[in-house]
């Protein structure tokens, strides 16, 4: 197992199961287990809401109780927004997924528990976990939808696994090229009488140079700006 298992405990609505599966697959997670779903299994409403992630539902493990779903797991996180009278490590999704990566690399099977929509996990269920995942939500409205909670966790797993989103290489202009662009504009604007009055000219030129330096100009941008100015001068001449 090279990724964590997502375990939905006593989920109530098929739509939420399907939405959770969709959120999982969005970020590459495919290990799904379902414990005692209220409306039975399989659930056509879950399939409809999964929208392309139906294969997760087809492969999902169905369990009558939580101990059965956790029998082969080495480490378990329980997601909850409510304070618990349990002495357990409390971590953010970011911290939890960092630990999960290390545990999986060591050959361990990791599970993440998500409770039913109306009440969340019960204390007896949280007690079976090694640690608690809590999201820093608005304390006046802490309740997260099942799929939202699954998405937050899955996103953090993907972010840490794949690293930052690749940024396309950009051919930025060099300092010298920006300097030449500044010289060009300064010369034309000076001849046009833009730097007026003379007492403010130095500060105006400094601000213009600062603007060129601040902009993330590419070489193509610089060439276009030179060309625009040349065309304006040509048309005026």
Mean per-residue pLDDT, 152-170: 76
Distances 2 to 29, 92, 106, 131, 165 between C-alpha atoms, Å: 10, 21, 10, 20, 21
Quick one: which H or E segment has residue 228?
helix 219-236
The verdict on 134 and 90 lying in the same domain is yes
Query: pTM above 0.75?
Result: no
Do 33 and 6 form a contact (C-beta atoms < 8 A)? yes
pLDDT score, position 168: 61
Is the omega angle on the peptide bond into residue 157 within 30 degrees of 0, that is, cis? no
The verdict on 131 and 83 lying in the same domain is yes
* Percent of the chain residues topping a pLDDT of 90: 64
The verdict on 180 and 217 lying in the same domain is yes
Distances 23 to 16, 81, 196, 197 between C-alpha atoms, Å: 10, 19, 59, 61
The verdict on 104 and 149 lying in the same domain is yes
38-92 pLDDT per residue, tens: 999 999 999 999 988 999 999 999 999 999 999 999 999 999 876 667 778 899 9
- 56 lies in some domain: yes
- 169 lies in some domain: no
Domain boundary among 137, 162, 187: 162
The verdict on 153 and 182 lying in the same domain is no
- Strand, coil or helix: 182: helix
| HSE, side-chain direction, 13 A CA sphere, residue 231 | 6
- 68 lies in some domain: yes
The verdict on 45 and 128 lying in the same domain is yes
- The CATH number linked to 69 is 3.40.1280.10
pLDDT score, position 43: 95
**Closest Cα partner for 118 from 43, 210, 190, 11?**
11
- 167 lies in some domain: no
Domain that holds residue 144: 5-162
The band of 163, judged by pLDDT with boundaries at 50, 70 and 90, is: low
Domain boundary among 139, 162, 185: 162
pLDDT score, position 31: 96
Count of structural domains, the chain = 2
4-47 pLDDT per residue, tens: 999 999 999 999 999 999 999 999 999 999 999 999 999 999 99
Mean per-residue pLDDT, 97-102: 94
**Average pLDDT value for the chain:** 89
Do 172 and 219 form a contact (C-beta atoms < 8 A)? yes
* Percent of the chain residues topping a pLDDT of 70: 95
- Choose between 222 and 137: higher pLDDT: 222
């Amino acid at each position: 197992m090279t990724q964590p298992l997502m375990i939905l405990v006593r989920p109530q609505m098929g739509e939420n199961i399907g939405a959770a599966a969709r959120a999982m697959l969005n970020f590459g997670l495919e290990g799904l287990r379902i414990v005692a779903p209220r409306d039975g299994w399989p659930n056509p409403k879950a399939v409809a809401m999964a929208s392309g992630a139906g294969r997760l539902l087809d492969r999902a493990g169905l369990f009558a109780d939580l101990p059965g779903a956790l029998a082969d797991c080495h480490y378990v996180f329980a997601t909850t927004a409510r304070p618990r009278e349990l002495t357990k490590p409390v971590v953010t999704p970011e911290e939890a997924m960092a630990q999960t990566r290390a545990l999986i690399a060591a050959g361990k099977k990791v599970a993440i528990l998500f409770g039913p929509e109306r009440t969340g996990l019960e204390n007896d269920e949280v007690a079976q976990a090694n640690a608690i995942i809590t999201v820093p939500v608005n304390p006046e409205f802490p309740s997260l939808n099942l799929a939202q909670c699954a998405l937050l966790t899955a996103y953090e797993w993907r972010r840490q696994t794949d690293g930052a989103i690749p940024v396309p290489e950009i051919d930025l202009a060099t300092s010298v090229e920006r300097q030449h662009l500044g010289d060009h504009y300064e010369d034309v604007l000076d001849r046009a009488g833009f730097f007026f009055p003379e007492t403010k000219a130095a500060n105006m030129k400094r601000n213009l140079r600062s603007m060129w330096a601040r902009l993330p100009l590419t070489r193509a941008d610089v060439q276009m700006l030179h060309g625009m100015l040349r065309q304006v001068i040509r048309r005026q001449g």
